[in-house]
Amino acid sequence: MSNIIKPKLIIHGGAGSSLKGKGGLEAVRKSLHDIVSEVYQLLLEGKSATEAVIKGCELLENNPRFNAGTGSVLQSDGQIRMSASLMDGEKQKFSGVINVSRVKNPIHLAEKLQLEDDRVLSDYGSAELLRELNFPIYDPLTDLRLQEWIEERKENFTKKMAGVVAESEAGRGTIGVVALDTQGRISAGTSTGGKGLERIGRVSDSAMPAGNYANAYAGVSCTGIGEDIIDECLAAKVVIRTSDGLSLQEAMKKSITEALENKRDLGAISLDRNGNIVWGKTSEVLLAAFHDGKNIGDCLEWDNDELIGSIDIL
């Protein structure tokens, strides 16, 4: 039993510029804490980090509050196209789908692709895979997202992206999960409906190593404006800096500082093989919650000037 590690978990439901109203905050908190609680239980039961990440992403995709799976935002042409990826840190293997439609849980496609030679598929290939796997056709559209899009259309799409933190408040929605299991394995998963109102064919960071990356040392899932995350190559940068000898705290701090200097709008959650949990953001709000091995906590009201927050190893 001595080599059994205490599992750790961190999840996010996006980042943004505001989290209006106490009602919004408490509702988001409950959604995130419930999911942390359910997924952490799986880790305690000995499920792998990858299994926990898939389940966590599935639960977040199923919650219409968040911009992934059900509740995804609409693109400029009124269609929903989702992207998701999974990275198994032990195998150092990335898989993902880009701009997939008519599926309930894009993360399940990323899961299936872990076993394939061709592991990242765009829209056409993802649709073929759905058909091959006989996944049921599913419409992730919610009334709220449709109403938001119709309002934007009335204003002739004057905004550059949809507003999505919590209910209908401004933000940059994505969901993500990073887990450390009892065997010391790390995995990361990220899923999104994109920025909203984007032009057809725009590719999100969520199915790129820039937005979702893990190896034996650390795992990171990002949220925020995809182009900013891609320009910083944020997830891969933090993980590689950790592999090269920086502590996770140092790696996150250095990377978020650079992002701030470059005026990026983003956030990231991470953990390492020692059980450190670290998050960082340049945006105002990061909707993240975690299990530190003892308690569930979150960063919903975290607003310090240090750019990163962390939980000490227990």
Indicate the length of the chain as a whole number.
314
| Residues tagged active-site | 174
Q: Which residue has the tokens 């000995």?
A: 46
- With respect to ligand GLY, which residue has the nearer C-beta, 96 or 194? 194
Binding residue (CB under 6 A) for ligand GLY from 31, 99, 182, 192: 192
DSSP string, 29-96: HHHHHHHHHHHHHHHHTT--HHHHHHHHHHHHHH-TTSSSSTTPPP-TTS---EEEEEEETTTTEEEE
What angle, 0 to 180 degrees and rounded to 10, lies between the N-to-C axes of helices 123-133 and 106-113? 90
- With respect to ligand GLY, which residue has the nearer C-beta, 229 or 285? 229
What is the token pair recorded at 303?
């607003």
- Helices (runs of H) and strands (runs of E) counted in the chain: 8, 13
Q: Which residue has the tokens 């190593």?
A: 209
Q: Cβ of residue 194: shortest distance to ligand GLY, in angstroms?
A: 4
- With respect to ligand GLY, which residue has the nearer C-beta, 56 or 267? 267
What are φ and ψ of residue 284, in 5° steps? -70, -40
What is the token pair recorded at 277?
């949990």
Site track for ligand GLY across 198-227, x = CB under 6 A = ------xxx----------------xxxx-
Binding residue (CB under 6 A) for ligand GLY from 126, 174, 187, 282: 174
Would you count residue 194 as binding ligand GLY (CB under 6 A)?
yes
Task: Count other Cβ atoms within 10 Å, centred on residue 22.
Answer: 8
Would you count residue 72 as binding ligand GLY (CB under 6 A)?
no
- With respect to ligand GLY, which residue has the nearer C-beta, 43 or 178? 178
The number of residues that bind ligand GLY (CB under 6 A) is 13
Residue sitting closest to ligand GLY (CB): 226
- Between CA 247 and CA 136 the distance in angstroms is 44
Task: Count other Cβ atoms within 10 Å, centred on residue 210.
Answer: 23
Would you count residue 310 as binding ligand GLY (CB under 6 A)?
no
- Between CA 96 and CA 110 the distance in angstroms is 4
Q: Cβ of residue 195: shortest distance to ligand GLY, in angstroms?
A: 5
Q: Cβ of residue 225: shortest distance to ligand GLY, in angstroms?
A: 5
- Between CA 299 and CA 139 the distance in angstroms is 32
CA angle 197, 16, 309 (to 5 degrees): 145
Q: Cβ of residue 181: shortest distance to ligand GLY, in angstroms?
A: 26
**Residue 226 DSSP SS3:** helix
- With respect to ligand GLY, which residue has the nearer C-beta, 205 or 232? 205
Q: Cβ of residue 76: shortest distance to ligand GLY, in angstroms?
A: 14
- With respect to ligand GLY, which residue has the nearer C-beta, 192 or 255? 192
Q: Cβ of residue 281: shortest distance to ligand GLY, in angstroms?
A: 13
Binding site for ligand GLY (CB under 6 A): 172, 174, 192, 194-195, 204-206, 223-226, 229
